[in-house]
């Protein structure tokens, strides 16, 4: 039972229940006191030591019921008829005898033993289910059963052939039950691992390659990352009043208390919200990158960032009001499809877009403004208008350019990236969620 207990702890951790070493020891001590005999008492003892929140309590209940469900072969309807003469079973393999005798308890015990010997708890990937299924069946004696079926099926005795037909049906039913068992074990031991693997893949996958079917999963992933950034930088903002003691200010303020330090004063550095202007190329070649970048940006807490956003292809328009008036997903759809905004989708023209920004919006840029430009800098051989980018650099705190293309492609063909890069505080390749997260984290860390 000790190994069963350890496996259950592993299953709980994989399900998302955080269990420290100390809590693990507490659970072991609780089990020693209550024992395994009473299922309800056993469950409550473990829950009291391992589940620390409502969410973890729900995860614990679900995992406990699945892990300790002993009815893997409940309802198993054998197709063979128990033989009237037990001599028929003598020359058969152990698995064939269990199937022919209808011994469900022995089948269940054999299944559990084979699973343990196959190290089923080490299953991590969806693609491993077939391998573990074959390993369990082989340990239960499937090879010997196949030999029995071949021999009985080719026998001249009609009774042997009848038994072979019945065993064939029971074999198929057993394989189905083993498959279900493996899938349950996969859900217990590998569910969260597979989710983590998929999340790591999506974080590093090129956003231009993300398919429509993964958009919803990407939205969930971005919300998790944004929450982490919000928690981190909100905490930094809350503690900015703590730091080094300002001795001169402390003595001055506490003169009224005859020199007794009643109100210590700290050296502080004011933390302001970053003022961000996002200028995004929404042409088809960078559509997915823009989608997830703006989703990331606008999911940040209002206390962390002030954002004005502009979209351009052939011309440039401000789209801040779209994100203010609609939920983020609908706003993104409207911007990328140009719904009810005067956005023209023809040849991309960076020079014209910068010119429009200079004429209409440059006066709103201050020395506290960070300008984020997201685009591949492919200008279809038009005028790059670098003079305007220089003016934007002079008026703003900094320009950060995020380019979805590989750095080796910058300056090739109609790319003007090498002409634009000198006016940027930094220019980075940005085509994955991890790239976006690192850039935004940098902006929030350097917002003072």
Q: How many domains does the chain have?
A: 4
Q: What's the pTM value of the predicted model, to 2 decimals?
A: 0.56
Domain span holding position 280? 272-445
pLDDT more than 90, % of the chain: 26
Both 142 and 266 in a single domain? Answer: no
Predicted pLDDT of residue 242: 55
Predicted pLDDT of residue 278: 92
The answer on pLDDT for 181 being more than 90 is no
Using pLDDT thresholds of 50, 70 and 90, give the confidence band for residue 239.
Answer: very low
Q: What is the DSSP string of 104-135?
A: HHHHHHHHHHHHHHTTGGG--SGGGHHHHHHH
Residue 346 forms part of a structural domain: yes
Could you tell me which residues come within 8 angstroms of residue 439 by beta carbon, excluding any fewer than 6 positions away? 400, 402, 428, 430
Q: Copy the structure tokens of residue 296.
A: 């990331």
pLDDT more than 70, % of the chain: 83
Both 418 and 297 in a single domain? Answer: yes
Both 37 and 167 in a single domain? Answer: no
The order of strands in the sheet holding 306-312 is 316-318, 306-312, 275-281, 369-374, 398-403, 426-429
Helix (H, G, I), strand (E, B) or coil at 82: coil
Residue 372 forms part of a structural domain: yes
The answer on pLDDT for 1 being more than 80 is no
What average pLDDT does the segment 391-415 reach? 93
Both 179 and 279 in a single domain? Answer: no
Q: CB pairs under 8 A, 24+ apart, for 314-322? A: 314/344, 314/345, 314/346, 314/347, 314/348, 314/349, 314/352, 315/342, 315/343, 315/344, 315/349, 315/352, 315/353, 315/356, 316/279, 316/352, 316/353, 316/356, 316/357, 317/341, 317/342, 317/343, 318/361
Q: What is the mean pLDDT of the chain?
A: 81
Both 296 and 403 in a single domain? Answer: yes
What is the C-alpha separation between 117 and 248, in angstroms, rounded? 72
Dmax over Cα atoms in the chain, in whole Å? 114
226 burial class (0-12, 13-18, 19+ CB within 10 angstroms)?
buried
Q: 306-312 and 316-318 as β-strands: parallel, antiparallel, unpaired? A: antiparallel
Measured at the CA of 312, the angle between CA 346 and CA 209, to 5 degrees, comes to: 80
Which of 76-85, 198-207, 432-441 is the most confident on average?
432-441
Both 265 and 277 in a single domain? Answer: no
203 burial class (0-12, 13-18, 19+ CB within 10 angstroms)?
middle
For residue 303, the domain's CATH number is: 3.40.50.410
Both 279 and 259 in a single domain? Answer: no
Predicted pLDDT of residue 420: 96
Q: What is the DSSP string of 233-293?
A: HHHHHHTTT-SSB-HHHHHHHGGGGTT--SS--B-----PPPEEEEEEE-SGGGHHHHHHH
pLDDT digits (tens, 9 = 90+) for 100-113: 877 777 888 888 78
Both 122 and 181 in a single domain? Answer: yes
Predicted pLDDT of residue 270: 54
Beta strands in 44-173 (DSSP E): none
Residue whose entry in the numeric block shows the structure tokens 């409207």: 334
Q: Copy the structure tokens of residue 124.
A: 């991590």
Residue 221 forms part of a structural domain: no
Cβ atoms of 44 and 62 within 8 Å: the answer is: no
End-to-end CA distance of the chain: 58
Residue 201 forms part of a structural domain: no
Residue 158 forms part of a structural domain: yes
pLDDT digits (tens, 9 = 90+) for 335-354: 999 998 999 998 999 999 99
What is the C-alpha separation between 69 and 169, in angstroms, rounded? 25
Both 298 and 351 in a single domain? Answer: yes
């Amino acid at each position: 039972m000790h190994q069963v207990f350890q496996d259950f702890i592993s299953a709980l951790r994989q399900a998302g229940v955080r269990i420290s070493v100390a809590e693990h020891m507490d659970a072991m001590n609780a089990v020693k006191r209550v024992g395994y005999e009473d299922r309800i008492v056993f469950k409550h003892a473990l829950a009291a030591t391992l589940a620390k929140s409502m969410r973890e309590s729900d995860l614990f209940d679900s995992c406990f019921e699945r892990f300790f469900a002993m009815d893997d072969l409940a309802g198993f309807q054998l197709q063979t008829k128990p033989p009237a003469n037990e001599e028929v079973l003598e020359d058969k393999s152990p698995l064939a005898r269990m199937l022919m005798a209808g011994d469900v308890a022995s089948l269940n015990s054999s299944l559990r033993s084979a699973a343990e010997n196959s190290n089923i708890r080490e299953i991590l990937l969806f693609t491993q289910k077939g391998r573990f299924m074959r390993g369990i069946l082989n340990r239960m004696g499937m090879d010997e059963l196949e030999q029995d079926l071949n021999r009985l099926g080719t026998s001249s005795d009609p009774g042997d052939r009848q038994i072979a037909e019945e065993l064939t049906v029971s074999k198929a039913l057993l394989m189905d039950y083993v498959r279900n068992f493996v899938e349950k074990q996969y859900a217990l031991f590998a569910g969260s691992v597979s989710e983590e693997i998929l999340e790591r893949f999506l974080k590093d996958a090129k956003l231009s390659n993300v398919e429509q079917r993964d958009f919803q999963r990407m939205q969930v992933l971005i919300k998790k990352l944004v929450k982490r950034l919000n928690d981190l930088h909100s905490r930094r903002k809350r503690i900015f009043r703590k730091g080094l003691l300002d001795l001169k200010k402390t003595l001055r303020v506490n003169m009224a208390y005859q020199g007794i330090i009643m109100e210590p004063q700290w050296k502080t550095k004011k933390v302001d919200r970053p003022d961000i202007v996002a200028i995004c190329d929404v042409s088809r070649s960078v559509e997915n990158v823009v989608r997830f970048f703006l989703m990331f940006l606008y999911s940040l807490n209002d206390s962390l960032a002030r954002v004005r956003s502009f979209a351009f292809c052939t011309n440039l328009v401000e789209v801040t009001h779209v994100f203010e008036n609609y939920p983020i997903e609908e706003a993104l759809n409207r911007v990328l499809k140009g719904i009810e905004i005067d956005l023209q989708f023809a040849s991309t023209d960076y020079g014209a877009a910068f010119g429009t920004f200079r004429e209409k919006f440059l006066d709103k840029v201050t020395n506290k403004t960070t300008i984020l430009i997201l685009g591949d800098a492919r200008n279809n051989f038009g005028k790059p208008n670098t003079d305007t980018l220089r003016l934007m650099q002079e008026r703003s705190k900094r320009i950060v350019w995020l380019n979805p293309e590989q750095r080796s492609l910058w300056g090739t063909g109609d790319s003007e990236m090498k002409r634009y890069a000198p006016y940027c505080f930094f220019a980075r390749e940005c085509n994955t969620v991890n790239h976006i997260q690192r850039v935004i984290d940098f902006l929030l860390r350097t917002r003072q």
